[in-house]
Amino acid sequence: MVSYSFEPTLEFARKLDQEDGLSHFRHEFYLKADSIYMDGNSLGLLSKRAEKTLLESVDDWKELGIDGWTQGNHPWFYMSERLGEMMAPLVGASSEEVIVTGSTTVNLHQLVATFYKPEGTRTKILADELTFPSDIYALQSQLRIRDYDPDTHLIRVKSRDGRFLEEDDIIAAMTDDIALIILPTVLYRSGQVLDMKRLTEEANKRGILIGFDGCHSVGSIPHSFSGWGVDFAYWCNYKHLNGGPGCVGGLYVNRKHFGAHPGLAGWFGSKKDKQFDMEHTLTPSETAGAYQIGTPHVLSLAPLIGSLEIFAEAGIENIRQKSLHINQYLMDLIEHELADMDFTIGNPRDDVRRGGHVSLEHDEAARICKSLKENGVIPDFRAPNIIRLAPVALYSSYEEVWKVVQNLKKIMTEKQYEKLRSPSI
């Protein structure tokens, strides 16, 4: 647990802001004066640099037309590779092992189509019962394509308490009939960080390929995918990386798999110097670029250039340290100010096991979330009873966190939520 001397006062919150080494990045983002944004783990805010690089690409289109592919501020033909190089330090990989392409679910389909190779008795895929539904839909689909029944061939590790997963339970499920493992880096509801290093080591011992969904961790916590020996990973870039709604996703493939033919082939997976030969035999890129499928979505890639410049300056280790500290401060305030109001903190308390948001549980979570919005606080609701609050290291302040808890206290004391119908958020 982060160690510091906690005080519940506004003056203390302002003191923490004065001592915050990342506070100057707050001015890089568009923040509304009458609103406190606590939903950066669902959609990050727009930065001025992301806006700038987007407009530069629009200007390239306006001024250069088709020549924007190879000329201009950010040549489009190489944009995915350039962004892969910029993103690689955030996931602990070499630039050749990362490409910015597709979307989370498209990239999962690509990676499973490539690396799921049922053989003999090894025919099953191992996942978990708490993962985001889209991953399950994709895995079920991939099994059906191969004429396997998802009810028998998709194994989902059970949670003991409905919040967390135990690594021991996951390892026990790594049996001789498992061909592939797909797990989240961070659970989207509770914010639990899985021990990726240990799980990868155990999978490797058993000769099972393992991949991770990094949607709720990339940009929030450091990774060492290459160092841990992770086979592949995929993630979105619109949450902690502030790439914008619908932003192009990212994927990582360990270099030991370079040369594997992509399961879902497309011409942008070609080796760059062969792409325009127009041959009917694909010559795949010798890097993670091989797993691209179609033409890159340039105007959804461009904001990431500016956003990742900020991450390079701030440093992911510094981002993680502030994230841990400001979330600990939020939890301390909750426990001090909201005692006896039937709230439960449903995320792990140990630093090593918690991600970038606080998972606050309450039976009236839906109506409380709506009340928060009416009071100028933007939270995130997850049915049936979770309020996710995500102070973001680059643009959230300690004073804002203090005000969020004061708003919660006011909502509960005045029973404001009782006046509202349960919303669909």
As annotated, the binding site for pyridoxal 5'-phosphate includes 104-105, 132-135, 213, 216, 238, 267, 295
| E strands present in 149-216 | 154-157, 178-184, 209-213
CA distance 389 to 356: 9
SS3 193: strand
Q: What is the DSSP letter of 23?
A: G
Hey, what are 108's tokens? 């999962």
Structure-block tokens of residue 395: 């643009």
Q: Using an 8 Å Cβ cutoff, are 157 and 173 in contact?
A: yes
The burial of 219, by beta-carbon neighbours within 10 Å (0-12 exposed, 13-18 middle, 19 or more buried), is given as: buried
344 DSSP β-pair partners:
361
| HEC profile of 222-271 | CCCHHHHCCCEEEECCCCCCCCCCCCCCEEEECHHHCCCCCCCCCHHHEC
Residues in the chain: 425
Distance in angstroms (rounded) separating the CA atoms of residues 163 and 388: 13
Provide the residue type at 71 as one letter. Q
Distance CA 55, CA 75 (A): 13
Q: Report d(CA 205, CA 156) in Å as an integer.
A: 21
Strands 98-100 and 380-382: unpaired
Instruction: Specify whether the CB–CB gap between 164 and 190 falls below 8 A.
Output: yes
CB 370 within 8 A of CB 352: no
Among the listed residues 394, 400, 319, 404, the one whose alpha carbon sits nearest the alpha carbon of residue 46: 394
Q: Containing H/E element for 388? A: strand 386-389
Peptide bond into 384 cis (omega under 30): yes
CA distance 228 to 226: 5
What is the rounded distance in angstroms from the CA atom of residue 291 to the CA atom of residue 33? 42
Residues flagged as binding site: 104-105, 132-135, 213, 216, 238, 267, 295
β pairing state of 377-378 and 154-157 = unpaired
Cβ atoms of residues 122 and 176 within 8 Å: yes
